[in-house]
Structure 1
Amino acid sequence: MADRRTFNVVILGVGFLFIFTAFTTCGNVEQTVVKSLRNVTLGGTGYHSLGIIYGVFSFANLLAPAVVAVIGPRVTMILSGLLYSGYVAVFIIPSTWSFYLTSVLLGVGAALLWTAQGHFLVENSEASTINRNTGMFWALLQCSMLFGNLYIYLDWNGKTEISDSSRKNLFLSLLVASALGTLSFLALRRSRGDEDELLSEEEGQSLLSTRVIYEHRANAAMREAKSEFKTILQLLRTPTILLLSPCMAYSGLELSFYSGVYGTCIGATAQFGDAARGLIGISGIVVGVGEIVGGGLFGLLCTNNRFRRTSVVFLGMVVHFVAVYLIFLNIPDDAPVVFATATRGKPFLTPSVSVALLCSFLLGLGDSCFNTQLYSILGFVYAEHSAPAFAIFKFIQSVFAAVAFFYSGYLLLKWQLLLMVALGFAGTLCFFAVERTQSFSADLQEY
């Protein structure tokens, strides 16, 4: 039984590795590709597409638990994987209507996929294995930032323009990766809980028809969804969630920046010359390395205690502020603007590839600092209501990521960085306040 559960977790991680190799790479180069297709076959911007995805994703999270409860996590992940594949396929034969339609559908698919993933991971874990299983899944997921971006570097390095053949080859490869990830979910096996439930249903076939059983499941799922929604509304009014909201919001801003905006800025920096396009891929790889290093150090190797969380969040703030300052000095101010094919402005320093890649690593490392500790404190404070608490986290994070993607194509880089610094500082202070409150409560209970 333990081997079966471990097998399921590994297959789950491999499936996400392939799917997010496609999606992460797509998001990293999307705005650059859309710029090359502007006024030809595709209107709009990559920023708007990503903003729609995260906006729909944030609200679809509220309905996803009911869907997963009715059709099961395995089927849900397969259907969601098909929606991811459809979004990637749009760039092979691009058109404006399909670009935005699949953006909406992918927002729904993302909510279903992540809800089903959390349900399936918990279903195949015990108290003694949840940390190990989460660590294995996290490591496999973060490796998705390596392979697709390596392809970008090898194929685009030295190119000033993205040809149709180069674009089609890239997205065909990403489509194959996404399809393989979706098909891998077919290999997932039933857990013991599912088998017991199925056996009890088979034994009860003489009393209830299959239709009645599924209607009972659907009704139970709707009751559960209503209960979860009420709990979410109750938690939204708690002081802890209110104080953590700025930190959650900051995680959304920096998510949009490192996953879509910064790669575009590097690719648009004229001072990098012919190497600029290829550097988008290398930047994505280095961000992934920072995520993996941070996840390993702060998610697996460190023991949980109330002092470590504040230290790690403070480190994340310092790391991000260093990255923001270096980006301000190293990247032209008009780099993220959607209507600029190449930058005209000059930064304070001569743009350096080494500094740009160092900032990529720092962005990934700082992101892992904030996310691991947000998960840790939410799991600690809301151990009995973890699903609604994490749903609130994803909701706030996704809303601010969507907002950031919508303004990223129009605000100059310095204003985007200033917003990140202000919200990051406020979020860190609020996190400290929550941690101090929890420490005081724990000491009081012990006394």
Structure 2
Amino acid sequence: MADEKHFDAASSSSSDPNNAALSSQGGSHFYPTTIAEVAPVERSSNPVKRIYSKPVIQVALVGMVCFLCPGLFNAISGIGGGGQVNSDASNKAAVALYSTFSVVSFFAGTIHNKLGSRLTLGLGATGYCLYIGSFLSYNINQNQGFVIAAGAILGVCASLLWTAQGALMLAYPTESQKGTFISVFWIIFNFGAVLGSAIQLGLTYNSTANSVSNSTYAAFVVLTGLGAFVAAMLTDPAKMVRDDGTRIIVPAQTTWVKELQGLFILLKSDPWVVLLFPMFLASNWFYTWQFNDYNGVLFTLRTRSLNNLLYWLSQMVGSLIIGQVLDNKRMSRRSRAWLGWSIVFLIMWAVWGGSYDVQKTYTRATVLDETTRIDFSDRSKYVGYCFLYIFSGVLDAVWQNLAYWLIGACSNDLSKLGYLAGFYKSIQSAGAAGAFAMDNDKHPFMTNLAVTWGLCVAGMLFVIPVIALRVKEHTDPLQEVTVPGRAEEIAKVDHLVDAAQEKHA
């Protein structure tokens, strides 16, 4: 029990009202930021509340928010051009979206730590309803400016949502559960895109049009509007207890200046995370070729909807498999990291090799003839193309899951994870903005594919030193330093816990 109490003390929240007692014992130079006084773990006696407050249930609720918002956004994006025949409005909106997404995400960890996870998540969810509503407006009045403005606003909102999501998803599991929790989230989140794609397929099955109807957009506006309400249902992270009895570290309400200092302290104290940036950059770059330059130009609308459904469904399967690999208890954490890396590396080469083989058969000039679009009724031609798209979805899932897992291997601290998730979405969004800009400038499809493939290779190579030198069996609390005074605070709490244990011995 002594060891359990020691670990719990080093993981508990600064929101504890007894924090003042701790600071008074430590002298005038000790300022608590994220560690509270030693306190026993308390769980509700109400069985419903006990189940509801379980970490996996809370991560599932975070998944539901993303099911309703980014999941349905992906369903619209996945058919190419935001559901429009001409992708110009969608591409320009995407550039605006990912540009603001990238800039705001760099500082989103600071915003998250200041506002708290639930409010940050809820505010982020609101932008998706506006964005999809702008395409409904575009169908009616062709107002491209509104679509672009909605994209820029969504970039701000999405940076908040994904930073809070990443922090919660990686802070709630124990170190041996992170792969499973990432899978749980990813499956629920992608089920939103599967459901959205199924709705699209049903509404477009007998349609000869090549753009999404008003009724489809309207249904998605209503569903995305529910996302912010689900965020309000989350349990206060300060009251959360992991399955092993440890507390969730909740950042204290420090000043904006200190939070910004923490951003750069993280990069200085843990520079290995910079080597993850190329992997982050590639992680959304490949969407442009897959969605616009492959699915968007080669297939009829109903076939694009079917492809979209299979793409996101394959993500659920890929996430489930890689999650089990990364949480395999019979292997060390570094061995699991190497195995996960190998799986992703092999799938990456297979998918882009197959994509290159297909890309040799068409160009921007040849796809202008609408009569050449492939329909799933032409099975002899469609099946091979379909399987390539399915494995493209698997690649996306295993890539993103491994990236999140590596972030989780660097920290268990909600504050630091907020910063890391912000970095991830910032670099990732910069890549997406670059890819959509290339597509909007009408670069050859083959050029887009070659750049994407090259970035994926670079991303995997830069990860090698991180796995070899940074991934440890357990995370050292002193590597979690993000706020001035944190290292001294950890040492102070360790001293108080040791004293408490000696007193009760």
Q: How does 1:135-154 map to 2 (within 5 A)?
A: 135-154=183-202
Q: Match of 1:47? A: 91
Are 2:284 and 1:249 aligned?
no
Q: Is the 8 A contact 2:279 2:462 kept in 1?
A: yes
Q: What displacement does 1:23 show?
A: 0.9
Q: What displacement does 1:128 show?
A: 7.3
Equivalent residues, number: 398
Q: C-alpha separation between the residues in 1 aligned to 2:146 and 2:278? A: 35
Q: Match of 1:3? A: 51
2:339 to 308, 311, 324: 311
Residue 243 and residue 223 in structure 1: after superposition, are their counterparts in 2 closer, same or farther (change >3 A)? Answer: closer
Q: Match of 1:373? A: 402
SS at structure 2 position matched to 1:104: helix
2:353 to 314, 325, 332: 325
Q: Match of 2:133? A: 89
Q: Match of 1:60? A: 104
2:69 to 4, 11, 19: 19
Q: Match of 1:28? A: 78
What amino acid is the match of 2:404? Y
2:223 to 177, 186, 207: 177
Q: What displacement does 1:112 show?
A: 1.0
What amino acid is the match of 1:193? K
Q: Is the 8 A contact 2:67 2:191 kept in 1?
A: yes
Are 2:473 and 1:427 aligned?
no
Residue 228 and residue 61 in structure 1: after superposition, are their counterparts in 2 closer, same or farther (change >3 A)? Answer: farther
Are 2:157 and 1:109 aligned?
yes
Q: C-alpha separation between the residues in 1 aligned to 2:132 and 2:218? A: 8
Q: C-alpha separation between the residues in 2 aligned to 1:336 and 1:157? A: 28
1:407 to 428, 438, 449: 438
What amino acid is the match of 1:425? V
Q: Deviations over 1:91-148 (max 9, x none)?
A: 1122122111111110000011122223444676566766654442222112122111
Q: Is the 8 A contact 1:244 1:427 kept in 2?
A: yes
Structure 1 residue runs of 4 or more that deviate by more than 6 Å after TM superposition: 343-346, 439-442
Q: C-alpha separation between the residues in 2 aligned to 1:114 and 1:284? A: 22
What amino acid is the match of 1:355? G
Q: C-alpha separation between the residues in 2 aligned to 1:320 and 1:120? A: 28
Q: Is the 8 A contact 2:69 2:224 kept in 1?
A: yes
Percent identity (aligned) = 17
Q: Match of 2:314? A: 290
Q: Is the 8 A contact 2:80 2:292 kept in 1?
A: no
Are 2:349 and 1:299 aligned?
no
SS at structure 1 position matched to 2:362: coil
Q: CA RMSD in A?
A: 3.5
Residue 341 and residue 22 in structure 1: after superposition, are their counterparts in 2 closer, same or farther (change >3 A)? Answer: farther
Q: What displacement does 1:179 show?
A: 1.4
Q: What displacement does 1:182 show?
A: 2.4
Residue 131 and residue 35 in structure 1: after superposition, are their counterparts in 2 closer, same or farther (change >3 A)? Answer: closer
What amino acid is the match of 2:436? F
Q: C-alpha separation between the residues in 2 aligned to 1:131 and 1:48? A: 35
Greater fraction helix: 1
**Structure whose CA Rg is larger:** 2
What amino acid is the match of 2:349? F
Q: C-alpha separation between the residues in 2 aligned to 1:243 and 1:84? A: 31
Q: What displacement does 1:158 show?
A: 5.1
Q: Match of 2:236? A: 190
Q: Deviations over 1:32-67 (max 9, x none)?
A: 63435x8xxxxx431221122122111111332343
Residue 73 and residue 311 in structure 1: after superposition, are their counterparts in 2 closer, same or farther (change >3 A)? Answer: closer
Q: C-alpha separation between the residues in 1 aligned to 2:402 and 2:267? A: 23
Q: Match of 2:392? A: 363
Q: Match of 2:263? A: 229
Q: What displacement does 1:402 show?
A: 1.0
Q: C-alpha separation between the residues in 1 aligned to 2:351 and 2:405? A: 24
Q: What displacement does 1:87 show?
A: 0.7
Q: What displacement does 1:407 show?
A: 0.4
Q: Match of 1:397? A: 428
Q: C-alpha separation between the residues in 2 aligned to 1:53 and 1:92? A: 17
Q: C-alpha separation between the residues in 1 aligned to 2:179 and 2:335? A: 19
Unmatched 5+ stretches in structure 1: 39-43, 195-216, 443-447
Q: C-alpha separation between the residues in 1 aligned to 2:353 and 2:179? A: 35
| TM-score, structure 2 normalization | 0.69
Residue 245 and residue 71 in structure 1: after superposition, are their counterparts in 2 closer, same or farther (change >3 A)? Answer: closer
Residue 267 and residue 242 in structure 1: after superposition, are their counterparts in 2 closer, same or farther (change >3 A)? Answer: closer
Q: What displacement does 1:341 show?
A: 6.8
Unmatched 5+ stretches in structure 2: 1-42, 44-49, 241-251, 475-505
